[in-house]
Chain A
Amino acid sequence: MHQEIKTTPSGDMVINVGPQHPSTHGVLHLLITLNGETIVNLDPNIGYIHRSIEKMCESLSYRQFIYTTSRMDYLSSHMNNHACALTVEKGLQIEVPERAEVIRVIISELTRLASHQLWWGSMAMDLGALSPFFYAFREREMITDIMEETCGARLTMNYVVPGGVMMDLHPDFQKKVKAFIVQFKSKIGEYHDLVTGNIIFQNRTKGIGMLSKEDAISYGVTGPAARGSGLSCDIRKLYPYATYQKLQFNEILETAGDSFARYMVRMREMEESVSIIEQLIDNIPEGEFQAKTKAVLKLPKGEFYTRIETARGELGVYLVSEGGTTPYRIKFRSPGFSNLSALNHMIKGHKMGDLVAVMGTLDLVIPDIDR
């Protein structure tokens, strides 16, 4: 079928990437202006998977609305739920039992590991290496199995309730997590051998998609993408929630600001997550896994804001309550949305082929951007 090629007045070609494209991993439409093979401008066109979760939440109760957020950033579903539960708990001043907090942190870090592993596999796949995907899924499968046994779902988990977690851990939990840690630690070297040290991979990511620290702040970029530019922005360190202040872990910072730096941040972050889980897995306190709460939750009149660190960056939950049983207004400050806004700045002047490397290291999840 013949299709006319669109051009700008200056003769640059305008092409569409998406809304269905293998490297966007979702329905993201990019309108790209090309001069030869060099990208002159990139205009993200989003909204293909917009479900208006914020509006939906206005008619759901404080117990129900938490679970719509599993469908935002589906790879950080547990962390999204955690953020919402923390907001409700802040409003009602519920004291969460320590056992529940520790369980939440362990599951959060397992989710982060699973998310980073999927990212690693799919990013390598986007750059032309198919096998890392299967290596990543070998370990990720162990985590999803643990999740399935713990809360019944492999991806969009609904494990958090206001006041704690939905049910207690199953008896095999510790054994299985330990088995995963042993497996992961013995295989992380393989990850580096396969991809990190690969000269083709390094050539395609080093010096590509530069983002300075100042621009990262101005664009509101957070998470591993910003830490690759040397911006300290780990909410777990800066504004600790749950039990993070009692734990020993490092905030991973790289200063180069290119795609390779962002890649390295995530790779090293996985090791930190494993170290957090190791600190907690043998020290899960005994006791209740859920605080006693009323059947119908009513938040007092006011505004509540929670910031947490998901696998992609800073998630903010801004909740306005009028004293009723449903939120008056909810805004989710999603990390992917702000990270995407920097893409045009990062990709300008690069070749078309570099787009995949830059998008890969931004780790965009489209339902998180659209909400």
Chain B
Amino acid sequence: MENDALLNSLQTSFPDAACAIGSDWPEIDIDGSDLLTLIQKLRYDEQWTFDYLFCETCVDWKTHFTMVYHLSSTKHRHSVVLKAKLDHDKPQIESLVGFYKTADMLEREVYDLMGIEFLNHPDLRRLLLTEDWVGYPLRKDYEDPINMIRL
């Protein structure tokens, strides 16, 4: 589907979610708690079949976190961006491992560097850093004791 047609179909199917055209693809802003029902439809509904999660990451906005999911369909060749706003004090969101196996390591990386807790993730451990590492380096308030750039 082209971006405009895709946006229309998304808007009619999800009247509660805020849909808009982003820089490249349609974007859906959701509340973190709606994620699974939305993904269920996007993944398995024939008109979308978003079967390929090509990027999953998180942005620290100091007051809140935004989880960003880039989904694509290998059948229809269209893409969509999902954004979920998370609380800064206790960032939690459902894991997508049940839908996309690639989410396993992607979520472990986000957990490691951003400190987002993924609920129902089968194996949520630190990925790049050691288990006893204090803090989450990609957060904006993280202070490295040896900051190479400011030395």
Contact = CB atoms under 8 A, between A and B. Distances in A.
A318 B68 contact: yes
B103 to A, nearest CB: 9
Interface stretch (A129-137, A139-147, A216-224): A216-224
Contacts of A307: 54
Interface stretch (B9-17, B30-38, B55-63): B55-63
A333 B113 CA distance: 15
B57 A305 contact: no
Given A218-B101, A318-B57, A333-B70, 11 more contacts: A47-B128, A54-B113, A218-B102, A220-B52, A304-B24, A305-B23, A305-B55, A316-B54, A318-B55, A331-B55, A338-B105
Contacts of A340: 105
Given A54-B138, A59-B149, A316-B70, A46 B57 contact: no
B140 to A, nearest CB: 9
A217 B105 contact: no
A52 interface: yes
B138 to A, nearest CB: 6
B121 to A, nearest CB: 14
Contacts of A90: 23
B70 A302 contact: no
A370 B102 contact: no
Given A238-B77, A303-B23, A341-B104, A47 B52 contact: no
B138 A217 contact: no
Interface size of B as a range: 20 to 34
B151 to A, nearest CB: 12
Given A302-B23, A305-B24, A341 B138 contact: no
A52 B68 CA distance: 19
Interface of A: 46-47, 50, 52, 54-56, 59, 90, 215, 217-220, 231-233, 238, 302-305, 307, 314, 316, 318, 320, 328-329, 331, 333, 337-338, 340-342, 345, 370
A119 B104 CA distance: 27
Contacts of A232: 74
Interface string B92-133: 000000001110111001000100000000000001110000
Mostly, the A contact residues are mixed
B100 A218 contact: yes
B100 A220 contact: yes
Contact of B23 (A218, A220, A304, A370): A304
Nearest to B73: A217
A341 B70 contact: no
B51 interface: yes
B54 A220 contact: yes
A46 B128 contact: yes
B137 interface: yes
Contacts of A304: 23-24
Given A47-B129, A304-B23, A370-B128, A333 B55 contact: yes
A90 B23 CA distance: 10
Contacts of A314: 54
Contacts of A338: 102, 105-106
Contacts of B77: 238
Given A305-B70, A318-B70, A329 B59 contact: yes
Contacts of A305: 23-25, 55, 70
B22 interface: yes
Nearest to A44: B105
B102 A219 contact: yes
B53 interface: yes
B102 A220 contact: yes
B101 to A, nearest CB: 4
